[in-house]
C-alpha cells in the first residue's frame, strides 16, 4: 500500500527519546503499524527520516540494483544508512527513537514531524524553523524551478 503523509506536527520528545504521535498522524499510520518503521539520519539534512517498512524495502531494492563490487556504491550505502534502526509505535502511540539515533540530528525536546513524499522527517523544532524560513523571492524562485522546471535567470550583460 502506497501512503503519502500530510500535515506538519509539533511534538515533544522525552528524556528516553519517546515521541507521542498526534492523533491525526496516528490515524495516517494505522494501516501500516504492523509492518513497523525504519529510522535513520538524513543524508542531506540535519534531521531524521522515518520510513514505513514497505517503503524502506523499496529504497533498499533500488540500492541493490547498483554494482556491489563498485567501492563508491558501498561507500554511499554505508553513509546513506548511517544510524539505521527498525522502530515501532507502541500501543499508546509513542515512537521510541534510540538515544544514539536522536543525537545524530541534534534533536532536543521540541520536535517537528513533517512529511516528505512517502516518509516523514523528524526535526528539532528550531532547526526546522530555520530551514523552512525563506524570503518571498527565494520561495518564488524555488517554486518555479521545482514546479515549472525553470532555470534561474542569469545575468548575461
DSSP string, 53-104: HHHHHHHHHHHHTS-TT-HHHHHHHHHHTTT-EEE-B-TTSEEE--HHHHHH
Q: How many other C-beta atoms are found inside a 10 Å radius of the C-beta of residue 57?
A: 13
Where does residue 119 rank: exposed (0-12), middle (13-18), buried (19+ CB within 10 A)? buried
Split at pLDDT 50, 70, 90, the class of 154 is: low
Helix H or strand E encompassing 147: helix 136-148
Rounded to the nearest 5 degrees, what angle is found at the Cα of 50, between the Cα atoms of 35 and 76? 110
Per the prediction, the chain carries an average pLDDT of 90
Per the CB < 8 A criterion, the answer to whether 104 and 82 are in contact is: yes
Q: Is the pLDDT of residue 128 over 60?
A: yes
All residues at 6 or more sequence positions from 151 whose CB lies less than 8 Å from its CB, including other chains? 145
* Spatial distance between the Cα atoms of 55 and 92, rounded to a whole number of angstroms: 24
Q: What is the pLDDT of residue 153?
A: 62
Look up residue 133 and give its three cell numbers: 524560513
Q: Is the pLDDT of residue 149 over 80?
A: no
Cell 528550531 belongs to: 126
Q: What is the pLDDT of residue 69?
A: 86
CATH superfamily of the 9-148 domain = Transcriptional regulator MraZ domain (3.40.1550.20)
Q: What is the pLDDT of residue 21?
A: 95
Q: Is the pLDDT of residue 117 over 80?
A: yes
Split at pLDDT 50, 70, 90, the class of 157 is: very low
Rounded to the nearest 5 degrees, what angle is found at the Cα of 6, between the Cα atoms of 95 and 3? 80
Q: Which comes out higher in pLDDT, residue 113 or 134?
A: 113
Percentage of the chain beyond pLDDT 70 is 94
For residue range 86-103, list pLDDT tens digits in order: 999 999 999 999 999 999
Q: What is the pLDDT of residue 39?
A: 97
Q: What is the pLDDT of residue 8?
A: 96
Q: What is the pLDDT of residue 1?
A: 64
For residue range 70-81, list pLDDT tens digits in order: 899 999 999 999
Average pLDDT of 35-43?
A: 95
**φ/ψ of residue 145, rounded to 5:** -65, -45
**Distance between first and last Cα of the chain:** 52
Amino acid at each position: 500500500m502506497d501512503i503519502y503523509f500530510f500535515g506538519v506536527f509539533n511534538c515533544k520528545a522525552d528524556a528516553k527519546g519517546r515521541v507521542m504521535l498526534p492523533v491525526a498522524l496516528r490515524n495516517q499510520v494505522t494501516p501500516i503499524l504492523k509492518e513497523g518503521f525504519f529510522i535513520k539520519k538524513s543524508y542531506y539534512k540535519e534531521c531524521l527520516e522515518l520510513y514505513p517498512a514497505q517503503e524502506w524495502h523499496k529504497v533498499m531494492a533500488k540500492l541493490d540494483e547498483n554494482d556491489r563490487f563498485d567501492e563508491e556504491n558501498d561507500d554511499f550505502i554505508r553513509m546513506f544508512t548511517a544510524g539505521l534502526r527498525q522502530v515501532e509505535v507502541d500501543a499508546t502511540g509513542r515512537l521510541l527513537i534510540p538515544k544514539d539515533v536522536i543525537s545524530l540530528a541534534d534533536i532536543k525536546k521540541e520536535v517537528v514531524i513533517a512529511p516528505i513524499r512517502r516518509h516523514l522527517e523528524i526535526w528539532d523544532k528550531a532547526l526546522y524553523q530555520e530551514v523552512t524560513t525563506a524570503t518571498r523571492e527565494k520561495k518564488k524562485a524555488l517554486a518555479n524551478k521545482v514546479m515549472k522546471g525553470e532555470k534561474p535567470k542569469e545575468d548575461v550583460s
